[in-house]
Amino acid sequence: MGAGWLFLFAVLYSAGLLFGMVFFVIMFSDLESDYINPIDLCNKLNQFVLPEYGAHAFLALLFLLWGQWTAFLWNVPLLAYNGNKVFNKNHMYDATEIFRTLPSHQKETYFKLAFYLLSFFYYLYRMIVALVAENA
Amino acid sequence: MATPAEQLPPGWAAEWLTWNATETATGRTQWEPPAPQGGVAPYADNAPTGSPPPAHHHAKRRQYAAGQTQAYYGGGGEAILDPGYLAGQADSTWGSAALYAWQTHAAPGVAQPQYYAPTTEPEYINQPGYGQQQPATYGQPVDNLANQFGGMGIAGQKGFQLYTTNLLTSPPDPRDLQIPPPEIRLPPNSCISPSPTANSDPSYQRCTLNAIPTASSLLGKAKIPLALILTPYRSLKEGDEPVPVITDTVIARCRRCRTYINPYVQFIDGGNRWRCCMCNMTNEVPQLFDWDQVRNQPGDRWARAELNHSVVEFVAPTEYMVRPPQPAVYIFLIDVSNTAVQSGMVATATRTIKENLDRIPDEDGRTKVAIICFDTSLYFFSLPQGTTEASMLVVSDIDDVFLPKPNDLLVNLAEARESMENLLDKIGNMFQENSIIGSALGPALQAGFKLMSPIGGKIMVLSSSLPSAGAGGLLQAAVPFYKTFAIECSRAQVSVDMFLFSSAYQDVATLACLPHYTSGQTYYYPAFNAGRAEDAIKFAHEFGEVLAMPIMLEAVMRVRASRGLRMSSFHGNFFVRSTDLLAMPAVPLDQSYAIEIQIEETINTPFVVFQTAVLHTTCYGERRIRVVTMALPTTSSLSEVFASADQVAIATFFANKAVERSLTHKLEDARDLVQKSLIDILIAYKTSMTSGGAGASAQLAISENLKMLPVLTLGLLKNVGVRQSTQIPPDLRAYAQALLTSLPSQLLIPYLYPTFYSLHNMPPEAGEIGEHGVILPPPLPLTSERLERHGLYLIEDGQTMFLWVGRDAVPQLVADVFDLPSYDALRGGKTTLRKIREMRRGPYYPHLYIVKEDGEPPLRLWALSALIQDRADVLPSYQQFISTLKEKVSST
Ligand SMILES: [Zn+2]
């Protein structure tokens, strides 16, 4: 399979992650305006934490296997960050602390949102470049 | 009039004061609500702020004041004056003696309303008497008065005079801790009630600043944290005025912000509507507001409790209920493993429960109880109706906990009284020979939860060892069970109290999570051994007090504040259920909470209001709302911010903050944070409040009212919960931290800065029953310089008491106190001496240790570690601490 298809897949994939982050942002603002209680929020979000990390790791793995070094390196910092959180067992949202830690969670979510957005355009660009090269 | 109110420890002082407050309250007939006699309609007094009140009001108010003081003299023969009265009386012949009398009587816990405060009467400004007043040590009140008179006029509200002290030259005086916080000086006419109880007593609610900065930039300049310290459910000691209850279910609340009507609202439109003091919304006055439903006749609005008292309780109608009020439920989880039985815990606990069955709140006969014993299995007891014999059901499958029987496990206390007593008598014997070691605390909790969750209530855990079996086994570190379980409990209105007894490591820190998030409390009796009478008495007393406590069930607490202020973070035992709602399944008496406040936008009002509302079910099945309202003036002057700071509240807040930091970061970070906060305040004071001239380098300046903050901070840094030391067992530390975050100021301050009395040379009147209870000797500064070889001293922090006997103690003294022939015959160590009278609030019964000057070193060192102004190991002395602060402050 060519690089074009890989990046097409990556584009769709990062769009999915992007929507995931939007969902997180909405949930946090719901918590702030008391539309959801912290217990339900944490139960809901915690279901998505590891899948999100996994999905991101999977994409990075694909880049590695295809030898797409730039794309892989672009993802390494976040991969390390996520890995570190899982290793320290503080990747889950804690309902008892959520109001104290909410600002930092929100910051993190916005950061990831921006990251996936940039990724999206980068993969798009790489996809176009690759497809043009293949057709040429 | 040298009654030693100033010498009383906070507990006594508060008691004395509430007595005084009662006096004031009984004199209530003396005041009338803004009366029509002046030809003014009642509502006129509540004209919108800004419009100057009619002059004849003042004249009338002065008359009240005179009447009131006369009432005092006539009634009690007391020369106790409220500052307000004094203010009103400024033109009369009160000499400085009277003023002094008041000053010395001022003590913590006093509510100092300003309703008689002069409004706009410039003729007082040059009153000669005032100019001559010296700013004495207890100068604050005098200064306040002077200020009020000096500053009257345009604003009608003049600030606090700032007095700078040099910390390098004025050593801490423990008596300063008993001075009340800087007085709350509200602008005239902000309160519609002349009642002295219209503003919150500091024992219910106090703020770190008694004048709120109008902008967050101003607060930022002062560096003083803005926080509320509250104990909405405070115990009433003998003589305390009970909280007034409003039974007619007419609850007037603001449509927009849901604030409860209080003494700081304004009536407009001829009294048909009221304006909310928080959000300015205009609301209709409820139809039945002026109707006396008891007598079925028109009532007097001005006599309504919610318009006259800061602390009131409304009986809530059904709108405030999610379900009918639930009965109180108590489930005891008793560890019957070998360790627990051998220590005598099981026997003491069952005996205490049995002896206190009568004291468990059960006015309505609905209270339910259950007992579950556990080692590595669970033992349920079925108490069917009609029999007096209990049958035991053993569940040894602890991986999937189930209830062996659907009913008869949780029984009505009144109905099953006899069988319960029988059972309690037997449990001790039943497990006497139990050789099983290990604890299935987690499964026991799950079982208790299953039994209780349809109703909610209180689970009391009595455990002697580290949980080892089933869910929540703590043999591996970091088990999330206790946190997740705590959340489940909070949801099902279940609160957990932990009584822990282990002599080995028990992981108090993890277990304390459960009480922490379910509004319970942790009690810790390290190496408990009922063979020692002292241990048994202490535990039995405290457990008994907890059992007898009238708890608030199914409670939620919310604090509302005037526009521009936001509650930003919460400290204490509860679960934060939404941005500003605190869930508390069962609120115990005398638990303190701290709430940080953010100034979000510039405040334009002359005063702000904080209102705490606790919706709860009483333990006799009535849904109620306890409301605590506090009004504070605002200020745009930095010097007023400093002058209005409450050092006791700040120290309480620091304690909460330090523990929070130590949990999220390291202990070292917690200490750094506290020290840095203190240094920031000192720097802020130096840069903005002192001239910074040549003399500045020789001083470390702080305002008079914050003089004790450094020594309290040092006390906190040296407290077991925070102290730098590798010797402190983690369990003791965790317990100390639980105390630091839940003790009300009245108990926390001695816990940080123990009280130290010299007993061999007490003033003659000490020890006798004075007008206000037992007269106590003056407290000494906490330094061993005060220890004399022939002396006898008492050092106590509310949790432990040390009786220090000097090596040259005269035989007569030893004979008098200990009934022993000589010093040599005296044994050091834990003991009981006569009856120790508990003077403070709370269930705590301190251990008493006799410490001989040449006795065992560990005990001596322990006792000496309470003298926090001394140097100990790596911990600095007060002098060293102050010079470190000085260095840090000058280097910026
Ligand atoms: Zn309102």
Distance to chain B for A33, nearest Cα, Å: 8
Inform me whether the pLDDT recorded for B92 exceeds 50.
Answer: no
Domain assignment of residue B797, yes or no: yes
Query: What mean pLDDT comes out for the span B425-441?
Result: 88
Domain boundary residue among B550, B565, B600?
B550
C-alpha span between B569 and B596 (Å, rounded): 5
Residue B132: count other Cβ atoms within 10 Å of its Cβ. Answer: 8
Nearest to B487 among A32, A89, A96 (CB): A96
Which of B21, B20, B46, B24 has its CA nearest to residue B33?
Answer: B46
Q: Say which range, B168-177, B265-274, B406-415, B824-833, has the weakest mean pLDDT.
A: B824-833
C-alpha span between B344 and B326 (Å, rounded): 34
Residue B604: count other Cβ atoms within 10 Å of its Cβ. Answer: 9
Long-range own/partner contacts, residues B862-867 (CB < 8 A, 24 or more apart): B862/B802, B863/B795, B863/B802, B863/B804, B864/B784, B865/B718, B866/B754, B866/B756, B866/B782, B866/B795, B866/B797, B866/B800, B866/B802, B867/B754, B867/B756, B867/B782, B867/B783, B867/B784, B867/B795
Sign of CA dihedral B828, B829, B835, B838: positive
Q: Which of residues 65-94 of A touch B (CB under 8 A)?
A: 89, 94
Look up residue B57 and give its two tokens. Answer: 């009001």
Please judge whether B576 and A32 are an interchain contact, meaning their C-beta atoms are less than 8 angstroms apart. no
Number of domains in chain B: 2
Q: Say which range, A18-22, B166-170, B256-260, has the weakest mean pLDDT.
A: B166-170
C-alpha span between B652 and B682 (Å, rounded): 18
Inform me whether the pLDDT recorded for B879 exceeds 60.
Answer: yes
Domain assignment of residue B245, yes or no: no
Q: How many residues in total does chain B contain? A: 892
Look up residue B639 and give its two tokens. Answer: 């010097």
Nearest to B578 among A34, A94, A100 (CB): A34
Q: Which amino acid is at B796?
A: E
Highest mean pLDDT among B47-61, B87-101, B160-174: B160-174
Packing angle of the helix pair A98-135, A3-32 (nearest 10 deg): 160
Ligand 1 center to B235 CA (angstroms): 30
Domain assignment of residue B36, yes or no: no
Inform me whether the pLDDT recorded for B189 exceeds 50.
Answer: yes
Distance to chain B for A84, nearest Cα, Å: 17
3-state secondary structure of B792: strand
C-alpha span between B247 and B753 (Å, rounded): 42
Cα–Cα distances in Å, from B694 out to B682, B698, B699, B700, B701?
18, 8, 10, 13, 14
Inform me whether the pLDDT recorded for B11 exceeds 70.
Answer: no
Distance to chain A for B232, nearest Cα, Å: 22
**Do residues B534 and B569 touch, judged by C-beta distance below 8 A?**
no
What local confidence, expressed as pLDDT, does residue B847 receive?
Answer: 82
A33 → chain B, closest CA residue: B579
Confidence of residue B857 (pLDDT cuts 50, 70, 90): confident
Model confidence over B225-267: pLDDT tens digits? 999 999 999 888 777 788 999 888 888 899 989 999 999 998 8
Inform me whether the pLDDT recorded for B615 exceeds 90.
Answer: yes
Please judge whether B577 and A32 are an interchain contact, meaning their C-beta atoms are less than 8 angstroms apart. no
What local confidence, expressed as pLDDT, does residue B13 receive?
Answer: 34
Q: What is the DSSP string of B329-363?
A: EEEEEEE-SHHHHHTTHHHHHHHHHHHTTTTS--T
| Domain extent at residue B809 | 80-110+752-855
Domain assignment of residue B518, yes or no: yes
What local confidence, expressed as pLDDT, does residue B692 receive?
Answer: 60
Cα–Cα distances in Å, from B407 out to B403, B452, B770?
9, 12, 55
Highest mean pLDDT among B94-98, B432-436, B649-653, B879-883: B649-653
Paired with B395 in beta bridges are B378
- CATH number for the domain spanning B445: value is 3.40.50.410
C-alpha span between B453 and B382 (Å, rounded): 18
B660 → chain A, closest CA residue: A100
Please judge whether A37 and B483 are an interchain contact, meaning their C-beta atoms are less than 8 angstroms apart. no
What local confidence, expressed as pLDDT, does residue B206 receive?
Answer: 92
Inform me whether the pLDDT recorded for B65 exceeds 80.
Answer: no
Q: Say which range, B107-121, B147-161, B839-853, has the weakest mean pLDDT.
A: B107-121
Look up residue B696 and give its two tokens. Answer: 């500045």
Confidence of residue B632 (pLDDT cuts 50, 70, 90): very high
Inform me whether the pLDDT recorded for A117 exceeds 80.
Answer: yes
Distance to chain A for B126, nearest Cα, Å: 53
Please judge whether A100 and B478 are an interchain contact, meaning their C-beta atoms are less than 8 angstroms apart. no
C-alpha span between B434 and B379 (Å, rounded): 13
Confidence of residue B773 (pLDDT cuts 50, 70, 90): low
Domain assignment of residue B365, yes or no: yes
Please judge whether B579 and A94 are an interchain contact, meaning their C-beta atoms are less than 8 angstroms apart. no
Interface test with A, best of B491, B566, B576 (most A CBs within 10 A): B576
C-alpha span between B161 and B158 (Å, rounded): 9
Ligand 1 center to B559 CA (angstroms): 13
Distance to chain B for A91, nearest Cα, Å: 13
Ligand 1 center to B280 CA (angstroms): 6
Q: What is the DSSP string of B392-414?
A: EEEE---SS---S-SSSSSEETT
What local confidence, expressed as pLDDT, does residue B651 receive?
Answer: 94
Query: What mean pLDDT comes out for the span B855-868?
Result: 84
C-alpha span between B653 and B594 (Å, rounded): 6
Look up residue B775 and give its two tokens. Answer: 């007269």
Query: Which chain A residues are Cβ-neighbours of B478 within 8 angstroms?
Result: 89
Please judge whether A34 and B579 are an interchain contact, meaning their C-beta atoms are less than 8 angstroms apart. yes
The residues near B120 (Cβ < 8 Å, ≥ 6 apart) are B52, B58, B152, B153, B156, B188
Confidence of residue B534 (pLDDT cuts 50, 70, 90): confident
ipTM above 0.85, yes or no: no
Nearest to B491 among A31, A39, A89 (CB): A39
Inform me whether the pLDDT recorded for B138 exceeds 70.
Answer: no
Instruction: Report strand pairing: B607-617 vs B552-561.
Output: antiparallel
Domain assignment of residue B568, yes or no: no
Please judge whether B578 and A89 are an interchain contact, meaning their C-beta atoms are less than 8 angstroms apart. no
Confidence of residue B214 (pLDDT cuts 50, 70, 90): very high
Inform me whether the pLDDT recorded for B695 exceeds 80.
Answer: no
C-alpha span between B131 and B138 (Å, rounded): 16
Look up the pTM and report it: 0.80
3-state secondary structure of B608: strand
**Do residues B309 and B287 touch, judged by C-beta distance below 8 A?**
no
What local confidence, expressed as pLDDT, does residue B610 receive?
Answer: 94
Q: In what order do the strands lie in the sheet with B227-230?
A: B205-207, B227-230, B593-599, B565-571
3-state secondary structure of B266: strand
Model confidence over B299-355: pLDDT tens digits? 788 888 888 899 999 999 888 888 888 899 999 999 999 999 999 999 999 999 999
Residue extents of the structural domains in chain A: 3-135
Please judge whether A96 and B575 are an interchain contact, meaning their C-beta atoms are less than 8 angstroms apart. yes
Inform me whether the pLDDT recorded for B849 exceeds 90.
Answer: no
Which of B479, B660, B555 has its CA nearest to residue B325?
Answer: B555
DSSP state, residue B328: P
Domain assignment of residue B282, yes or no: no
What kind and span of H or E run contains A60?
Answer: helix A38-65
What local confidence, expressed as pLDDT, does residue B49 receive?
Answer: 38
Query: What mean pLDDT comes out for the span B642-656?
Result: 93
Domain assignment of residue B515, yes or no: yes
Which of B128, B300, B232 has its CA nearest to residue B628?
Answer: B232
Confidence of residue B870 (pLDDT cuts 50, 70, 90): confident
3-state SS, B843-877, equals CCCCEEEEEECCCCHHHHHHHHHCCCCCCECCECC
3-state secondary structure of B61: helix
Model confidence over B374-405: pLDDT tens digits? 999 999 999 888 787 888 899 988 888 888 88
Average pLDDT, chain B: 78
Look up residue B212 and give its two tokens. Answer: 């709120």
3-state secondary structure of B132: coil
DSSP state, residue B171: -
Interface test with B, best of A29, A31, A99 (most B CBs within 10 A): A99
Phi, psi of B400 (to 5 degrees): -135, 85
What local confidence, expressed as pLDDT, does residue B842 receive?
Answer: 73
The residues near A47 (Cβ < 8 Å, ≥ 6 apart) are none
- Chain B touched by A99 (CB under 8 Å): yes
What local confidence, expressed as pLDDT, does residue A76 receive?
Answer: 92
Cα–Cα distances in Å, from A26 out to A31, A32, A92, A103, B233?
9, 10, 18, 14, 37
B479 → chain A, closest CA residue: A89
Using a CB–CB cut-off of 8 Å, the residues of B that contact A are 478, 483, 486-487, 491, 517, 569-570, 575-579, 581, 664
3-state secondary structure of B567: strand
Query: Which chain A residues are Cβ-neighbours of B578 within 8 angstroms?
Result: 31, 34, 37-38
Query: Which chain A residues are Cβ-neighbours of B569 within 8 angstroms?
Result: 99-100
C-alpha span between B632 and B212 (Å, rounded): 7
Inform me whether the pLDDT recorded for B106 exceeds 70.
Answer: no
Give B89's Cβ-side CA count (13 Å radius).
Answer: 20
The burial of A80, by beta-carbon neighbours within 10 Å (0-12 exposed, 13-18 middle, 19 or more buried), is given as exposed
Nearest to A95 among B478, B487, B570 (CB): B487
